[in-house]
Amino acid sequence: MPERPAPVGRLAPSPTGQLHLGHARSFLLAWWSVRSRAGRVVLRMEDLDAPRVRPGMVEAAVRDLEWLGLDWDGPMLLQSAGMERLRAAVSQLSNAGLTYPCVCSRADVRAALGAPQQGDVEQRYPGTCRGRFDSIETASARTGREVSLRFRVPEGALAIADAFAAPAAFDVQTEVGDFMVARRDGTPAYQLAVVVDDAFQEVTEVLRGDDLLPSAARQAHLQRALGLAHPSWVHVPLVVDASGRRFAKRADDLSLAELRARGVDPRALVGWAARASGLDVPERISPREALAEFSLAKLPHEPVRLDPETLAKLKSAR
């Protein structure tokens, strides 16, 4: 039997804010999973959401990853530097008749559904513009609005095989509807960019938080439409606080930069992340020293709860 090729994993932070302890654990797990099998790790900055990208956050994310003791192979890829590649994928979908112009705003979608505003909760797109316009130019001329492009999502449930999470199936058309692949300013949208750049970087394994499991179904639809292989998905439970709330950049949770500024020993964070993931290691350890202990089978299937006592201990780990 031929040997399996070494896996290729990725670290893909978004430079929209400071990285926190939840990010640290996810990136460590992704690194351990691939490095434990002598694989390659690539680094990508997902910086397409220009209005939300904050100055200096690309460099800050690199500093955080290096401070934790993580490394990667080859140069960092800035997603925004690959616009030609991403737009070619949008054109491929459009030429195959798999996209259509849309002039709907979020308010239009809510109004069509008769739904109140619900913060970041994504509303299902009801298909208002499907079949309405024959081109972007027509849509713009008839409405005077900026035009996005939506992907025609096939009907039916799509099963997602995961190396860690329980088997799941998602009916994207029923749950989300036709989703955007290009925004109104022409920027390729997140789901498409991830798919294209994973293929470009030859990524074969994506380990990330299980809050992104539904995204795997959208990405699988795009991979099929573009003729791309999909990576092995590994969705793991998130880090949550004592109340069960997940850590978030916008919630002002304790950042890695703040911990570094306090003089915290990064090996204490690595030790916490490893021990919280079922690895039998000392309280202070480097990522490479913990490598031999790593196994997906050891990871808990419940969220990792970071209680105040543990957090206080990490803050004082000089």
Residues in the chain: 318
Q: In this structure, are residues 147 and 90 in contact, taking their beta carbons and an 8 Å threshold? A: no
Fold of 83-193: Glutamyl-tRNA Synthetase; domain 3 (3.90.800)
Q: Which CATH class is domain 8-80+201-315?
A: alpha beta
Q: For 106-123, how does the pLDDT look when each residue is reduced to its tens digit (9 = 90+)?
A: 899 988 887 555 555 678
Q: Where are the domains of the chain?
A: 8-80+201-315, 83-193
Q: In this structure, are residues 76 and 70 in contact, taking their beta carbons and an 8 Å threshold? A: no
Q: In this structure, are residues 222 and 151 in contact, taking their beta carbons and an 8 Å threshold? A: yes
Two tokens at 92? 């491929």
Two tokens at 221? 């639809």
- Rounded to a whole number of angstroms, the distance between the first and last alpha carbons of the chain is 50
Q: What is the pLDDT of residue 286?
A: 99
Q: For 132-146, how does the pLDDT look when each residue is reduced to its tens digit (9 = 90+)?
A: 999 999 999 999 999
Residue ranges in 147-292 assigned as alpha helix (H): 172-175, 190-200, 213-226, 256-261, 266-275, 287-290
Q: For 171-192, how does the pLDDT look when each residue is reduced to its tens digit (9 = 90+)?
A: 999 999 999 999 999 999 999 9
DSSP code, position 99: E
**CB-count burial class (<10 Å; 0-12, 13-18, 19+) for 251:** exposed
